[in-house]
């Protein structure tokens, strides 16, 4: 079970990132709990300068851009192994 957080105030990029992350998780048959973090104070608790950010199991894996589905899948895979 993973916790995946999407950091961003609800812009188009954040929605696209969530879409990609959800698809990657379901493709890998991984159950994950998705949370959208939209409050600036909560977002900036993580070490990022610009949104959207992707956090898997409390680790910030990407920020400021939309990662490719392949790399999101790789991060999820890695998080499953270390978990």
Under the rule (CB under 8 A), what is the footprint of other proteins? 9, 11-13, 16, 20, 40-41, 44, 47-51, 64-66, 68-69
CB of 53 or CB of 79, closer to other proteins:
53
CA 36 vs CA 2, 52, 54, 81, 82: distances in Å:
14, 11, 10, 24, 23
Assign 27 to helix, strand or coil: helix
Shortest Cβ distance from residue 83 to other proteins (Å)? 26
Respond yes or no: is residue 36 known to be catalytic: no
Hey, which residues are catalytic here? 11, 14
């Amino acid at each position: 079970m993973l916790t995946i957080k999407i950091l961003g105030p609800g812009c188009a990029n954040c929605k696209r990132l969530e879409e990609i992350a959800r698809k990657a998780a379901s493709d890998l048959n991984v159950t994950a709990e998705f949370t959208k973090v939209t409050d600036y104070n909560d977002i900036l608790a993580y070490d990022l300068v610009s949104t959207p950010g992707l956090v898997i199991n409390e680790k910030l894996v990407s920020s400021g851009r939309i990662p490719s589905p392949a790399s999101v899948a790789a991060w999820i895979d890695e998080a499953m192994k270390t978990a």
